[in-house]
Amino acid sequence: MDSNKKEFLKRGIDYPIIDGARTLPGKYYHSRDIYEEEVKKIFHKFWILACRDEEIPMVGDYKLIEVQDESIIIVKEKPNKITALFNVCSHRGTQLCNQPKGNFKTNSIQCPYHAWTYGLDGKLLRAPQMKEGNGFSKSRCALPQAHIRIWEGFVFISLAENPQPFEVQMEALMGKFVDWKMAELRIAHHIEYKLNCNWKLILQNYQECYHCPGVHPLLSKLTPVHSAQHDYSKGAVIGGFMDLSQKGGSMTMDGKAAAQPVYDVTGDDLQRVYYYSVYPNMLLTPHPDYVMFHQITPLGPGKIINDCYWLFHPDVIHDRGAQDRIKSAVDFWDLTNKQDWKVCEQMQIGTKSSRFTRGYYSGREEILHTLDKELLQALGHEDPE
């Protein structure tokens, strides 16, 4: 084994592929059967991003998370506890609430149909005109709960009965970005994008810059394409970084920093932008001065919602004089995102052609090949080759 291959394997990275490795067949972006299998074996099994804990700050605050046919209530149960409840009444299966976010004013959740009422912990408190005994017991009618973990201010859930330990799925990121103190950052801006493409195309696009010179002229100016390095590619976490061209700069419309470096960010991190995907629905991009992340919600084989958030230091958000700099960061990524979305939607259309069977990767797209293998392994499919 040559020294280069040893170094890649030591860091958990697949050895680079050669030009001409094959892509997934087009059906993996269009088949309803494959999509439903992905929902069951990936989105209902892996730990997935649900929200930021700051989105539900007060007891009784909640946010709904939709995972295909499952609806989950992420609720602030106590000042220091968030709970994830399945949004389905134990009486006859009625959906308990349908507003995307809000506050349970009475610190209880009442079914709109027959007024069964639950505590924020999911326990059944009242069932009008129902008597205990003869098969009915309130203790047996608590709302089912999803597993929940909070990491760096991000709320993750798993719908699996016995999920893989969170620390195992997130191994590569445990402690990696402590200098950013992301739990203390706050949402400065949010854009919801509705896209006509498969969820996997967004992850694939995010993890390669082979397309950058032609699609992203401004990004390529701010971060040289040849500087891209993948420093981890193992399991559900894949990522790396690119260097910034301008000393002390960032990803903004003029390349200048949007703010002072975040908390304890120093050294090489002052000249890098990191790109990490947390399979299957999070893209995390720490900059020296702010953090951007995407939350992907699939709506079918060819539709997704992609929520993009910008996190800044609270002092920057509250500084009126800093608003133009925040806007410069938002405008840069909004421009870049729309450039990406355009080609992803075109790829969605093209891969449906009867004349497209499988494509060919370049040697610069080894991480996409890794993503394909992660998918096939999760689905239990043989490699099409």
Residue 14 lies in a domain: yes
Residue 69 lies in a domain: yes
Residue 26 lies in a domain: yes
In a shared domain, residues 83 and 156? yes
More confident residue, 63 or 11: 63
pLDDT digits (tens, 9 = 90+) for 201-240: 999 999 999 999 999 999 999 999 888 888 766 668 988 9
Tokens of 191: 């854009």
pLDDT exceeds 60 at position 4: no
Q: What CATH number is associated with residue 105? A: 2.102.10.10
Q: Quick check: 178 and 319 in contact, CB under 8 A?
A: no
- Which pLDDT score is estimated for 385? 65
In a shared domain, residues 210 and 246? yes
How far is the CA of 170 from the CAs of 178, 200, 215, 234, 276, in angstroms? 14, 19, 31, 10, 11
Least confident among 135-144, 273-282, 361-370: 361-370
Q: What CATH number is associated with residue 336? A: 3.90.380.10
CA pair distance 126, 163, nearest whole angstrom: 31
φ/ψ of 124, rounded to 5, equals: -75, 125
Partners of residue 232 on adjacent β-strands:
239
In a shared domain, residues 158 and 220? no
In a shared domain, residues 28 and 120? no
- Considering 101, 135, 163, which residue would you say is the last residue of a domain? 163
- Considering 129, 163, 197, which residue would you say is the last residue of a domain? 163
Residue 273 lies in a domain: yes
In a shared domain, residues 219 and 365? yes
- The pLDDT confidence band at residue 2, using thresholds 50, 70 and 90, is very low
In a shared domain, residues 114 and 83? yes
DSSP characters over 225-289: GGG-EEEEEETTEEEEEEE-SSTTB-SSSSSB-SSSPPTT--GGGGGEEEEEEETTTEEEEE-SS
- Which pLDDT score is estimated for 235? 63
Q: Quick check: 268 and 227 in contact, CB under 8 A?
A: no
In a shared domain, residues 193 and 305? yes
| Residue 199: half-sphere exposure toward Cβ, Cα within 13 Å | 30
- Note down the domain range covering 139: 48-163
Residue 384 lies in a domain: no
pLDDT digits (tens, 9 = 90+) for 330-350: 999 999 999 999 999 999 999
In a shared domain, residues 112 and 82? yes
In a shared domain, residues 224 and 349? yes
Number of domains present in the structure of the chain: 2
Residue 170 lies in a domain: no
Residue 37 lies in a domain: yes
Q: Quick check: 195 and 349 in contact, CB under 8 A?
A: no
| Residue 192: half-sphere exposure toward Cβ, Cα within 13 Å | 4
How many other C-beta atoms are found inside a 10 Å radius of the C-beta of residue 288? 25
